């Protein structure tokens, strides 16, 4: 049987959307048939660069006129609720970029709208789809180090993210909302759901509005303790942006994801193996973003597979609500002298 070509549309032709469009072009069985952006110049640029001639300034017009298998929403968080609810009203499955929502109420409303309409919803939470994070997950599944009891997921950088994404410098919330959200999601992916959490956050860079350093201490329902630490104020000997580094201690050994995507697995009293889990450099990708770019390809491939299998995506709306709750509670804990907060799993 020939593979059905799924027809999608992309809403939001900004900085990051180019990665979505390149990845859709690389994938089999999918075509982006239309673009939408309220900004005419960005819309035209994306149309020309990717050869997609159907363009819309309004998402409502796009959804009314096109027969779509899905929409890919790559706008910033403020517009997510209205766009996801609009797609649900039109019965169109949707992918929504992170941060899924600016409030938990908005996230719940989007989940309910898609459930009511019976359409799949995936949050584009791509960091867990990086080759190195997948390699750590695989090593845990293969049980090299026994029961993990402690973990650290760390992202420390001084890379200038503000020139590509100027809104990151001007919003009240910065690192937890934009980057911490990915790192917390990796902690959930590797260590499971969280029972209690406390956090601290601070701003070092005087030129930005929000916090650029944050640290979380979490007790997971499995009993494992983890630390998630993020910084955009850390000028290190080597700039590793956008690498996430990981340490995991287990009853029988240790895993260390170090610089340059090198994963060291050490078994107590036994062998040490080093696995190179560097991402491929796709012909449309640029270092150092190639790691993130490959994860975009991977999560979009996962979405297509889930549509084919009628399966819920890993980072469905409700799954991602658990990550969003941790971000929200981290701000709350940080604002209240690092109070420890109980976390309930969202269902």
Binding status of residue 132 toward ligand NAD by CB under 6 A: no
Residue 117 CB, nearest distance to ligand 89V (Å)?
27
Residue 178 or 211 having the CB closest to ligand 89V = 178
Residue 149 CB, nearest distance to ligand NAD (Å)?
30
Among 10, 17, 194, 198, binds ligand NAD (CB under 6 A): 17
- Alpha carbons 75 and 167: distance in angstroms, whole number: 12
Is residue 98 classed as helix, strand or coil in its secondary structure? Answer: coil
Q: Which residues contact 155 (CB under 8 A, 6 or more apart)?
A: 179, 182, 183, 229, 230, 231, 242, 243, 244, 245
Binding status of residue 37 toward ligand NAD by CB under 6 A: yes
Is residue 152 classed as helix, strand or coil in its secondary structure? Answer: strand
- Alpha carbons 201 and 177: distance in angstroms, whole number: 12
Task: Tell me which of ligand NAD, ligand 89V, none is bound by residue 79, counting a contact when its beta carbon lies within the kind-specific cut-off of 5 to 8 angstroms.
Answer: ligand NAD
Residue 246 has which token pair?
């990981």
Task: Tell me which of ligand NAD, ligand 89V, none is bound by residue 33, counting a contact when its beta carbon lies within the kind-specific cut-off of 5 to 8 angstroms.
Answer: none
Residue 209 or 219 having the CB closest to ligand NAD = 209
Are 246 and 255 spatial neighbours (Cβ–Cβ below 8 Å)? Answer: yes
Residue 327 CB, nearest distance to ligand 89V (Å)?
12
Is residue 147 classed as helix, strand or coil in its secondary structure? Answer: coil
Taking Cα atoms as reference points, which of 239, 230, 233 lies closest to residue 287? Answer: 239
Task: Tell me which of ligand 89V, ligand NAD, none is bound by residue 242, counting a contact when its beta carbon lies within the kind-specific cut-off of 5 to 8 angstroms.
Answer: ligand 89V
Of residues 135 through 154, those in contact with ligand NAD by CB under 6 A are none
Read off the DSSP letter of residue 84.
H
Among 79, 134, 200, 205, binds ligand NAD (CB under 6 A): 79
Q: Can you say how many angstroms the Cα of residue 312 is from the centroid of all Cα atoms in its chain?
A: 17
Residues 250-277 as b/e (b if ≥16 CB within 10 A, e otherwise) read beebbbbbeeebebebbeeeeeeeebeb
Among 9, 10, 32, 36, binds ligand NAD (CB under 6 A): 36
Q: Which stretch binds ligand NAD (CB under 6 A): 7-15, 104-112, 222-230, 326-334?
A: 7-15
Residue 258 CB, nearest distance to ligand NAD (Å)?
22
Residue 248 CB, nearest distance to ligand 89V (Å)?
23
- DSSP β-bridge partners for residue 273: 265
Residue 192 CB, nearest distance to ligand 89V (Å)?
23
Number of residues that bind ligand NAD (CB under 6 A): 27
Query: Site residues (CB under 6 A) for ligand 89V?
Result: 161, 165, 178-179, 182, 242, 292
Strand-pair category, 253-258 with 262-267: antiparallel
Which residues lie near ligand NAD (CB under 6 A)? 11-17, 36-39, 42, 59, 74-77, 79, 83, 97-99, 124, 126, 165, 178, 292
């Amino acid at each position: 049987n020939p593979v059905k070509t799924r027809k999608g549309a992309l809403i939001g032709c900004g900085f990051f959307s180019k990665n979505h469009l390149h990845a859709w072009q690389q994938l089999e069985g999918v075509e982006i048939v239309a673009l939408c952006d309220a900004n005419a110049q960005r819309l035209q640029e994306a149309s020309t660069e990717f050869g997609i001639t159907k363009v819309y300034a309004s998402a409502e017009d796009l959804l009314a006129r096109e027969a779509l298998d899905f929409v890919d929403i790559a706008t910033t968080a403020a517009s997510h609720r209205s766009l996801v609810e609009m797609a649900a009203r039109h019965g169109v499955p949707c992918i929504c970029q992170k941060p899924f929502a600016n409030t938990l109420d908005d996230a719940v409303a989007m989940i309910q709208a898609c459930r009511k309409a019976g359409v799949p919803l995936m949050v584009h939470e791509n960091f867990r789809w990086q080759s190195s994070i997948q390699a750590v997950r695989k090593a845990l599944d293969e049980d090299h180090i026994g029961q993990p009891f402690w973990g650290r997921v760390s992202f420390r950088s001084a890379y200038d993210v503000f020139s590509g994404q100027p809104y990151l410098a001007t919003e009240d919330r910065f690192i937890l909302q934009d980057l911490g959200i990915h790192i917390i999601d990796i902690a959930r992916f590797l260590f499971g759901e969280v029972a209690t959490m406390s956090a601290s956050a601070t701003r070092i860079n005087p030129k930005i509005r929000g916090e650029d350093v944050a640290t979380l201490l979490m007790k997971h329902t499995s009993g494992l303790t983890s630390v998630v630490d993020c910084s955009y104020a850390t000028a290190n000997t080597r700039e590793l942006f956008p690498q996430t580094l990981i340490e995991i201690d287990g009853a029988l050994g240790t895993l260390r994801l170090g610089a340059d995507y090198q994963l060291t697995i050490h078994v107590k009293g036994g062998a040490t193996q080093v696995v190179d889990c560097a991402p491929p450099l796709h012909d449309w990708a640029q270092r150092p973003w190639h790691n993130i770019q490959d994860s975009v390809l991977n999560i979009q491939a996962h979405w297509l597979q889930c549509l084919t299998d009628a399966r819920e995506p890993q980072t469905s709306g409700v799954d991602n609500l658990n990550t969003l709750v941790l971000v929200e509670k981290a701000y709350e804990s940080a604002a209240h002298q690092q109070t420890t907060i109980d976390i309930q799993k969202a269902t």
